[in-house]
Structure 1
Amino acid sequence: MSAAGTVAGLDAGELDRFVTSVLAEDLGEGGDVTSAITVPAHARLKAEIATRQPIVLAGVVLAEAFFRHADPGVHIERLREDGDRLEAGTPILRLEGAGRAMLTAERSALNTLQHLSGIATLTRTYADAIEGTGCQLLDTRKTVPGLRVVEKYAARTGGAHNHRMRLDDGILIKDNHVAIVGSIEEAVRSAKAANTGLELQVEVDRIDQIEPALAAGAERLLCDNMPPAVLREAVALVAGRVPIEASGGVRLDTIRAIAETGVDFVSVGRITQSAPAADIGLDYAMAEVVSEAC
């Protein structure tokens, strides 16, 4: 558990439900048929999980949870921690336990570790690209359905700050809201009148929308799909009155120029939406079959 009493953002109950549902998806009705009919019941395996590429590690405790669920007596030696930058070939976990159980948990553990480490690794690349600018990297709600909490944990591990976790985390008036109510001013007035206590952010995609949004009471701006030259103009116009976030189509080759315009934040959907799985493997270094008589 982390200092906040969670594992990858999940409390104890959520962790149990996550592990149980992921394993159930893989096991189906009949369980691991192949292992059951080929691996002796008393076989014990030793294994090592290692990365095959440079990564930022994320999800190691989640991976452990799958093995512990399948075999409560499994021995696990954790060699690295989430957030560590690892070179190719670095061992992450060493395990010893019931052979059938380890084989049953292997895919779910690896899938999770590969996916979250992939997000953390890509996020770190983006965070490094804007280091020294004073601009903070944000993630978005562009996550795999059902995996938002753990994916945003991985983004945090890689160096991003979480934006809204859910729709109730803050008010973000976007172009569709404005189109429905008729104007930015009316949308902001309605939001202010609700007196929710939540930060009120307004999306703008043109310079001429900024002053109306601020005059109506916007507490933060999201400048959508503005090129760096226009962002610099927006920063100068706002002059520190509210924080500014840049968003929309941000890529690794463009994020530095965006951050250098003076915006406070830049949000990147790609770090969760498009991160490739990290190449992490599990190899059985030694297998031993213990006879039933023993």
Structure 2
Amino acid sequence: MELPLVVGVDGSEPSLRAVDWAADEAALRGVALRVVYASLWERYEGASLVGEFAGVRDEGLAEAIVEGAARRARERHPDLKVSAEVVPEEPEYVLPRLSRDATAVVVGTRGRSGLAEALLGSVSLAVAAHAHSPVIVVRGSHDNQARRPVQGRVLLGVGEDGPAALRFAFEEARLRAVPLEAVRAWRWPAHETTDHPLLAGEPARLHEEQAVEMLETALRDAPAGIDVHRRTVEGHARRVLADLSHHADLLVVGTKRPHGHLGRVAHAVLHHSACPVAVVPQDA
């Protein structure tokens, strides 16, 4: 049985963007969509409801939010199987728990004190750090609509985080019928310099060759039929990927999450990517 896609909602515009994105993804994958409102969410993020929920009395607010989100998903994809539920727990516990039986978990970004588009909400960060499935954090739009894919590519940051992120990225590219751009960033350490004019470019060339080799090794089992573009770029991976995200519909990164913390690259792109980010745990 195919596992459903779970989307967390809280009545805010960012969460409704996440519903749109999740509905599109569930329809693409042919799986059900499970809309979840953790009723203690406002304790973490504060109230920032869209107009349709602003006048609802507190005792009916949770049900109104989750049913409104489910209705929105059904209107977007009438044939999509959608369920809705309210769970009276903290979202940072509910969503990771539900991720055990989910294809993926989708959340929006919401910060505090008017910084919603500059800072990642605490719930989104906690879910990305503790979920058992891939987590997609929907970024990159400033209205209450999720953008349809327009760039025509999936971007993959190739690191040392295992094959799970690779498999997820391959599948996304296949489902969307778009190229996969696989990127390996590399650095030229400052101490590896030489004053000899004939050897000046040698350290950089060696580091770039290592990046190319790692990229080829990671992609050697790419499924047939997927158009894979390989790219090595000098620079910090977090900056390279954030820059390239402006030209992608989805950025996929892996994470080992030592001691329950996201790695530096995943943490950085969650804050600065221009497109939705899929964080795939190593053991997903």
Larger radius of gyration: 1
TM above 0.5? no
Q: What's the TM-score, normalizing by structure 2?
A: 0.29
Higher relative contact order (CA 8 A, sep 6+): 1
TM-score (structure 1 length as normaliser): 0.28
